[in-house]
Structure 1
Amino acid sequence: MLNILIPVDGSRNALRAVEYVIQYRAMHDELINVNLANIQPRLSRYITRFVPSANVRMLQQERAEQALKGAVDMLIKAGVEHSVHINKGDAAEGIVACAQETASQKIVMGTTRKNALSRFFQGSVVSKVMAITDLPVEVVAKENATKLARFGIPVGVGLAVLWLAVE
């Protein structure tokens, strides 16, 4: 049985990774088990200082369930065996830790198509996961980033450099 981890954040790209795994199962006669992972970011201590910890946990649980709902529904409809895992912390580190805990054999992640400069300035969870894990990582990229995401950051950086040069 192939054990696959799919990080899910509720985005269309994450759902495309789930679709990809469902299609993979349909094309291959291999049994698979899907582990859905949602990593909730830790809230700043400036916020948690004024909010009871039970409320913070409840908020994170609600956000995780909402993010996972679409993926869970898709897997149930397709009849794919799955389990759900919710962790807190850094996204990339949490994904790799969850993969180790579940003895996953590979990680399938969804992403948008961006240029290298945008990925450099925005950071990429996919790149971080690939850097810190020994497992194979399959990246499902079907959709281009918005024009603002593709050109906004490089243009912003160029304008900042031009402004500094003028000063």
Structure 2
Amino acid sequence: MNHVIAIDGSAPSLRALSALLKLTPSPQRGQIHLVNVQPALLPGRNCLSAEEIATMQQQDGEAELAEAVALLRQQGIAFSSHIVKGSPAEGIVACAQDTGANQIYMGTRGRGAAASLLLGSVATKVVSLSPVPVTLVR
């Protein structure tokens, strides 16, 4: 089994990682792939060069992954991390496809159905785009 866990540095995303570790016994856990999606930024529009944007996205992604990385290292659990650029939902699903994941775990912000209808939701979009099961953790 391969698992993708969407990590944005928030408490719900860290709870999703904890849920995977609790729900999946170690021998059956397979590979763990942490994915962080950074927004796509265009050079010039933000007064930054392409290199500056790439550096900023890498640093921001590493910072958002830091707590999840520390948790897995502390427990001696092997993993890989991925920082991708673009739309969050598409980036998460693309990472799952690229890594051959069998499942996606992600946190939700708990906005509720009405807000989700009005604003859209990354979790809702991932569920609709994903060819593999998605576990949502609140």
TM bin (shorter chain) = over 0.9
Partner of 2:28: 30
Report the aligned-residue RMSD: 1.6
The answer on whether the counterparts of 2:34 and 2:81 sit within 8 Å (CA) in structure 1 is yes
Please state how far the C-alpha of 1:24 moved relative to its aligned partner: 2.2
> Normalization by structure 2: what TM-score?
0.92
For residue 103 of structure 1, the aligned residue among 100, 104, 121 is 100
Structure with higher Rg: it is: 1
Is 1:123 aligned to residue 126 of structure 2?
Answer: no
Letter in 2 for 1:34: I
Letter in 2 for 1:58: T
Deviations 1:81-112 (A, max 9, x none): 10001110111111111101000000011113
SS, match of residue 76 in structure 1: helix
**CA distance in 2: counterparts of 1:106 and 1:80, whole angstroms:** 18
SS, match of residue 93 in structure 2: helix
Counting aligned pairs with the same residue, the percent is 36
Please state how far the C-alpha of 1:46 moved relative to its aligned partner: 5.8
Partner of 1:67: 64
Q: Which runs of 4+ in 1 moved over 6 A?
A: none
SS, match of residue 35 in structure 1: strand
Distance verdict in 2 for CA 1:112–1:51, change over 3 Å: closer
Partner of 1:4: 3
Q: Which has the higher contact order (CA 8 A, sep 6+)?
A: 2
Distance verdict in 2 for CA 1:64–1:28, change over 3 Å: closer
Is 1:17 aligned to residue 5 of structure 2?
Answer: no
Deviations 1:18-59 (A, max 9, x none): 11112124x5642421100011011256634x2111111111
> Normalization by structure 1: what TM-score?
0.77
Letter in 2 for 1:36: L
Is 1:90 aligned to residue 87 of structure 2?
Answer: yes
The answer on whether the counterparts of 1:22 and 1:75 sit within 8 Å (CA) in structure 2 is no
Any stretches of 5+ residues in structure 1 without a counterpart?
A: 142-167
Any stretches of 5+ residues in structure 2 without a counterpart?
A: none
The answer on whether the counterparts of 2:43 and 2:53 sit within 8 Å (CA) in structure 1 is no
